[in-house]
Structure 1
Amino acid sequence: MSDDLKPPDLASWQRLFEDKAYWQQSPDAHYAELLRVADDLLGQGAIDLEQWQALKAKADQSHKDSPAVNVAQEVDDPEA
């Protein structure tokens, strides 16, 4: 079985969550992918509903913060 077919695990979700370049360049796609992985984890029984809700809350907060952070970074470094 190749790595591409391996189901996600909690570490995969965390790596995705910490991918700041993806988050900054495409916050909506990043958010959707975080929710998809969390849903997959719940569906495969790797996490329970409470853990899923915690992951969703982190994703929600990150998505909510993305415009403000992106604007602040652009103001700090317009050449970035």
Structure 2
Amino acid sequence: MRFGEINKVLGDISQKMLTSTLRLLEADGIVSRKMYAEIPPRVEYELTELGRDLLPNIRNLIAWGHKNIEVIQRNRESFKKNI
């Protein structure tokens, strides 16, 4: 995916934070970055084998979050009232 596509899918993230995160994921070997010598320059990101191996765990975490979001929100509200 191109940077702009990733930004659009994620929604509420600053360009600086997305750039920083993508660089860390690239350094960890989770994504690969390919630059094209075009005008304007084009950069695409892709999951590596390591990144694809991580996907089932991320999907499980997302499912857990959906299952528990109401409890988490109630806990946050309760916490806010006690501080």
TM-score, with length taken from structure 2: 0.35
Considering fraction of residues, name the structure with more helix: 1
- Larger relative contact order (Cα-Cα within 8 Å, sequence gap ≥ 6): 1
Considering fraction of residues, name the structure with more strand: 2
